[in-house]
Amino acid sequence: MSDRPVHAAYAACPPEPTVHTAHLGATAAEFTPADILGPYWTPGSPARTDFLAEAALGDDAVHLSGTVRDRHGDPLAGVTVDVWQADPAGFYSGGFPDQQGYVGPALGFRGHQVTGADGRYALRTVRPGRYKISDTQERCAHLHFRLTAPAGTRAAVTLVTQLYFPDDPVNAVDPWERKNDPKLLMTRLVDSDQPEAYAFDFVLRTA
Ligand code: FE
């Protein structure tokens, strides 16, 4: 792990999520747990479902798909699903000051989409790189999510969380993944026609 970037800003992140109070106090086990926002979210991500334009030739594609559901299990339409992740070397786009040498697009590996009537979302990307948050601590591979359900007949809900890869050995020591294990692990789809495909359904704490 010595060649991984060190993101010291991460070390200042709180041990528990703080930006999604709508989820605090949720007791139903089936709600998707919140996770920390981290220091690298930016507003204004482009509308898109494919990050492969930023990937290097030879990076293996990762396919993730699933459904966003309400507390009753019904698909939720109109949910903005905002995703951001590190590139395969462990750097985030956005010009953050403690990121040494990232030269990708300003909004690389970032994008949002809005669910339709079926509540479905899908993402094509590559596996994010792990990175260090101190000289001794490393973050496992993870995808950041910010899901916002519209106000209306249901109360507006925002869920900030992260998804994890089931085969990453660093999961066991990651300061945040351990708290939610295994509820934020993606499910590997072994019968998919894609070489590396995962599924994850979000359940929002809707009114
Ligand atoms: Fe991160």
Could you read off the pLDDT of 88-125 as tens digits, one per residue?
989 999 878 777 666 677 889 999 999 999 999 999 99
Q: State in Å: Cα 202 to ligand 1 middle.
A: 19
Residue 142 has φ and ψ, to the nearest 5°, of -155, 155
Token code pair at residue 138: 């490393």
Q: What is the DSSP letter of 115?
A: -
Q: Which two tokens stand for residue 26?
A: 């949720």
Quote the ligand 1 centre to 38 CA distance (angstroms). 6
Its pTM stands at 0.87
Helix (H) or strand (E) holding 10: helix 8-11
Q: How far is the CA of 206 from the centre of ligand 1 (A)?
A: 26
Note the pLDDT of residue 157: 81
Q: State the distance from the centre of ligand 1 to the C-alpha of 192, rounded, in angstroms.
A: 27
Give 1's pLDDT tier (boundaries 50, 70, 90): very low
How far does the centroid of ligand 1 lie from the alpha carbon of residue 196, in Å?
21
In Å, the largest CA–CA distance within the chain is 51
Q: Which residues pair with 195 in a beta bridge?
A: none
Q: Contact at 8 Å (CB) between 164 and 177?
A: yes
Tell me the CA–centroid distance for residue 15 and ligand 1, in Å. Answer: 14
The pLDDT value recorded for residue 24 is 36
Distance in Å, CA 142 to ligand 1 centroid: 6
25 confidence band (pLDDT: 50, 70, 90): very low
Instruction: Provide mean pLDDT across the span 4-14.
Output: 78
Q: What stretches of 62-147 show up as alpha helix (H) in DSSP?
A: none
Residue 130 φ/ψ region, left for φ over 0, alpha for ψ in the -120 to 50 degree band, beta for the rest: beta
Tens digit of each residue's pLDDT (9 = 90 or more) over 119-138: 999 999 999 999 999 888 89
How many DSSP H helices and E strands does the chain contain? 2, 11
Chain centroid to Cα 106, Å, comes to: 18
Q: How many angstroms separate the CA atoms of 95 and 76, rounded?
A: 34
86 residue type, one letter: A
Instruction: Using the mean position of ligand 1's atoms as its centre, give its distance from the Cα of residue 135 in Å.
Output: 16
80-84 vs 142-149, strand pairing mode:
antiparallel
Q: State how far the Cα of 191 lies from the Cα of 168, in Å rounded to an integer.
A: 20
